[in-house]
């Protein structure tokens, strides 16, 4: 079995740096997907929280007995597909500041 050991910076010393060859996959580099390590804030517990930047769009989906309102959200460091559809109520609860500048309540 072949093993690879990464030379990580001191800030990442708590991360496992040895991997078996079978765990690695070929990567085709794309400049638009590179994120600077300095731009990402890693917590002491080595968790990383991605933050939404802006609400781009809103829909109303009718289910059997209620309406669900998804919103199209652009995320801070995402590349490629930089947005996702999220439930509006959850986004308002966790990120109320997203809706301060672009409030869709007046839409018909």
Give every CB contact of residue 41 below 8 A, 6+ residues apart in sequence: 48, 49
Residue 12 predicted with pLDDT over 70: yes
Instruction: Give residue-wise pLDDT tens across range 56-96.
Output: 888 888 888 888 889 998 887 666 567 888 999 999 998 88
Q: What is the pTM of this model?
A: 0.51
Residue pair 33/79 in contact (Cβ under 8 Å)? The answer is yes
CATH of the domain spanning 43-101: 2.40.50
């Amino acid at each position: 079995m072949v093993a690879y050991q990464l030379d990580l910076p001191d800030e990442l010393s708590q991360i496992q740096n040895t991997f078996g060859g079978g765990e690695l996959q070929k990567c085709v580099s794309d400049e638009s997907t590179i994120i600077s390590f300095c731009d990402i804030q890693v917590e002491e517990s080595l968790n990383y929280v991605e933050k939404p930047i802006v609400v781009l769009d809103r829909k109303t989906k009718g289910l059997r007995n209620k309406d669900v309102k998804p919103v199209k959200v652009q995320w801070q460091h995402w590349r490629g597909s930089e947005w996702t559809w999220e439930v509006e109520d959850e986004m308002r609860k966790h990120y109320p500041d997203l809706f301060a500048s672009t409030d869709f309540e007046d839409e018909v």
